[in-house]
Structure formats: C-alpha cells, structure tokens
C-alpha cells in the first residue's frame, strides 16, 4: 500500500515522499517500513509500542491512534510529524 512520508523522516527512505509497504494492520505496515528503511519506526513509535505524541497517522484521511487497526492493500497511510518552535 502507499505510505506518504513527512519531510523530517524522508532521510530514512532515500528522500522519497511516497513509499510502498505491506501488512494487514498498521503495526505490520510500520514493521515492514522498518525492514525496508531501518530506524524509521523508532521515530514514530515509542518504547511502549504507542504512536509518539508528535506523530499523527491517518488511514484514508481518518486519524488512527492504535497500531492494531486493520488495513487493506488499497488503503493509503499518511504520516504527519508535528513541528514546534517559538
């Protein structure tokens, strides 16, 4: 399925904005991404297996907060990283 990568994480995947990944759940898709692009999952998922506070993940434009969300091959996953500053 198509996964859109935010600019701050593109260095992990050869500066590509869009990559392919496979899996029946969001957790499996992120694990597949990490196999293809080592280190990217840790930037999105913390040590307790939860989505980091500054990361938002959408499946077909609906925000998801659980890694067990089932996915279909036709789904699109959008990853957003919050920016901060002052």
User: 2-81 has which fold?
Assistant: Ubiquitin-like (UB roll) (3.10.20)
pLDDT cut 90: percent of the chain above it:
93
Among residues 66, 78, 55, 62, the alpha carbon closest in space to that of 26 is found at 66
Domain ranges of the chain: 2-81
pTM: 0.91
Q: Write the burial class of residue 77 (CB in 10 Å: 0-12 exposed, 13-18 middle, 19+ buried).
A: buried
pLDDT tens-digit series, residues 43-57: 999 999 999 999 999
pLDDT band at 27 (very low <50, low <70, confident <90, very high): very high
pLDDT tens-digit series, residues 72-85: 999 999 999 987 65
């Amino acid at each position: 399925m198509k996964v859109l990568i935010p600019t701050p994480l593109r260095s992990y995947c050869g500066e590509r904005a869009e990559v392919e990944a496979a899996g029946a759940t969001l957790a499996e898709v992120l694990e597949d991404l990490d196999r293809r692009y080592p280190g990217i999952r840790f930037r999105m998922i913390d040590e307790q297996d939860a989505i980091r506070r500054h990361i938002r993940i959408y499946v077909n434009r609906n925000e998801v907060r659980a890694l067990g969300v089932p996915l279909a091959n036709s789904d699109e996953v959008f990853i957003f990283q919050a920016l901060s500053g002052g």
